[in-house]
Structure 1
């Protein structure tokens, strides 16, 4: 029994020693290591802190543009449609069988040229009959006039013969008009399109014969925003291109719609373009460049140098080797430049590079000048 207790006591002492040594021995090493490491680390940190405090960033290398006045032509680009000067769908005023067609598809025709003839033999026969009747009635009227002058017949009988002559003349004029309706003629000069009828076919007033188009001059129809309407007037010049050709065509504004479209807030404008070679086709899509006005003296700068601010826009100028933010007011924009109306003056050195690094009073060194 005693031996067993002695063993238990020895084991407990050993375990207690191990636990004590693990806890207190480890803490002592950590403390010692912390002391030594802390000193070394502190020395490094102090060294690093000294180096950071002693080194400053150098000036930013930038390019500048010397601000100057320039002439700006205020243009806008819009889209439009090429229209025919005159366009008509040819139809007949009378019904009947087609006896002849006098045009070829795609042919240029002149005003008044006969294009289609409809059967008119019955009308011609009626006209011939009226001619004979009118001739006889005229002879009767002439005799009655002589008799009336000799007081051989009454005035009433003479006037009756006169009425007969006039009635037959009116009927002849009616037949003549009906015969004219059997002839379909070109109402204006132009190019005739594809025909929809054939000789011998029955033609009614609802039948489309072909389309006649006059494309010289061509009409260019487009819309412009309401804000530009006061700058456009009849006589204003435009240029445009079409997909079928890279060539630029000139045109002159001749009419402006008096009312503004309430949905788009734009006005419809029509211009006239010479087209002697028929290079322009009705219905084509047109890209239009419209010259609104010319500003003889203003400042234009690259768009990317203008930085939006809370209240306005700013640009950076070089003054005494430092970047200086300067508020500006802008107006017109082009693809690459923007107009400055206030804030800059000729001779200012405008920073045009490294804009993202610019802040107030950042030191800068000019490495080059932008000539644009």
Structure 2
């Protein structure tokens, strides 16, 4: 019985020793791996934050329009007798552009002038007779009314006659004509377009949050879809109220076009300066990480990545202005940030 007891005791001690050995061996095997994981350092790109001069510009889209534009029409009906302009040519203010046949109107004017002369003579005679009390005041008033009526009719036909010559209301460039000599035109017949392109209007709209910063006389720059050349313009008019549907405020600027490089109807990319900041903090767009309540940036702190919540402002093609959360001298992590966590050890390769 005693031998049996000793046997089982030794067997139990052996089993316990074997288990203890296996636990110790596994601990030694796993310890280097865990240590290696805990000391794993991630390589990232970074840049040291510096204050720079930054022009806060608002980028908008707009449309170029002629300074003045009309569709030429004849105020009276008739046959076109002559066309005195070339398509696409420059015309001066007051220049006769075309004439409508006026033979009938001239004949009518001659007729009513004869009637006016007769009415004038009858009025003179009636006045002499009235002075001699040979006629009543009523008869004199009738002769006077006849004269005034003939005079008004003469003036009416003379006014119609003057409308047979259509003149340019302002200097500009005339477009393609829709008539030929001999065409019968009415006030509804379009003749051609006349535009003044020495100056062009630039119409655009800004978001309502910038309304208080706008004023007449501000300058801006713009480019067109067919050229990268920058042009200058000056704001001369602002709508008095915000458009409720779009929440934007429409305004207009005037641009010089003496060389004729700009065309009405062209799309324009407008750059409107808001302010110039001498000590702005700019970070690359790839450094920003969107989060639920805004944006976050990783900065280097004690050899580890540190999460910082930031407030951002305007952006350019590659940079974003940060308003708060970071300061000059901070090292901003710019690559591999989506794989980082708060407190991750990092090795930073600084960009120039």
Measured against the shorter chain, the TM-score band is 0.7 to 0.9
Please state if 1:292 is matched with 2:274: yes
Name stretches of at least 5 consecutive residues in structure 2 with no aligned partner. Answer: 1-21
CA RMSD of aligned residues (A): 3.1
1:159, 1:53 → 2: CA distance?
123
Q: Distance in 1 between matches of 2:142 and 2:296?
A: 99
What is residue 60 of structure 2 aligned with on the other side?
Answer: 78
Q: Distance in 2 between matches of 1:120 and 1:360?
A: 90
TM-score (norm 1): 0.76
SS of the residue 1:177 aligns to: helix
Cα shift readout 1:164-211 (whole Å, capped 9, x = no counterpart): 443332222111012112222222222111111111121122211111
* Equivalent of 1:237 in 212, 215, 219: 219
Matched, 1:334 2:316: yes
Distance change (3 Å), C-alpha of 1:101 and 1:320: same
Counterpart-to-counterpart distance in 2, 1:327 and 1:205: 68
Rate the CA distance shift 1:155–1:69 in 2: closer, same or farther, 3 A. Answer: farther
2:96 to 106, 114, 133: 114
Question: Aligned in 2, Cα 1:344/1:162: closer, same or farther, shift over 3 Å?
Answer: same
Does the C-alpha gap of structure 1 residues 311 and 245 become closer, same or farther in structure 2, counting only changes over 3 Å? closer
Bigger mean CA offset, 255-264 vs 334-343:
255-264
Rounded Cα–Cα distance in structure 2 between residues aligned with 1:337 and 1:316: 16
Q: Distance in 2 between matches of 1:242 and 1:214?
A: 19
Q: How big is the shift at 1:135?
A: 4.0
Report the Cα distance in structure 2 between the residues aligned to 1:166 and 1:325, rounded to whole angstroms: 93
Post-superposition CA distance 1:127-157 (Å, at most 9, x none): 22333444455455556656766x4755736
| Alignment equivalent of 1:52, drawn from 26, 33, 36 | 33
Using structure 2 for the length normalisation, give the TM-score: 0.80
* Corresponding position of 1:317: 299
CA distance in 1, matches of 2:240, 2:54: 29
Alignment CA distance shift 1:136-1:357 (3 Å): closer
Secondary structure of the residue that 1:260 maps to in structure 2?
A: coil
Q: Which moved more, 1:62-71 or 1:220-229?
A: 62-71
- In structure 2, what is the Cα distance between the partners aligned to 1:229 and 1:329? 22
Per-residue deviation at 1:62?
4.2
Q: 1:50 to 1:206 in 2, by over 3 A?
A: closer
SS state at 1:187 partner: coil
Partners of 1:106 and 1:353 lie apart in 2 by: 57
Task: Verify the 8 A CA contact 1:231 1:293 in the aligned structure 2.
Answer: no
Q: CA separation in 1, counterparts of 2:288 and 2:56?
A: 20
Partner deviation per Cα, 1:52-111 (whole Å, 9 max, x = no partner):
255453544444433233333222222222212222221122111111111111121122
Q: Tell me which residue corresponds to 1:97.
A: 79
Compare the two structures and name the one with the higher strand fraction.
2
Distance 2:338 2:79 in 1: 81
- How many pairs align? 329
What is aligned with 1:187? 169
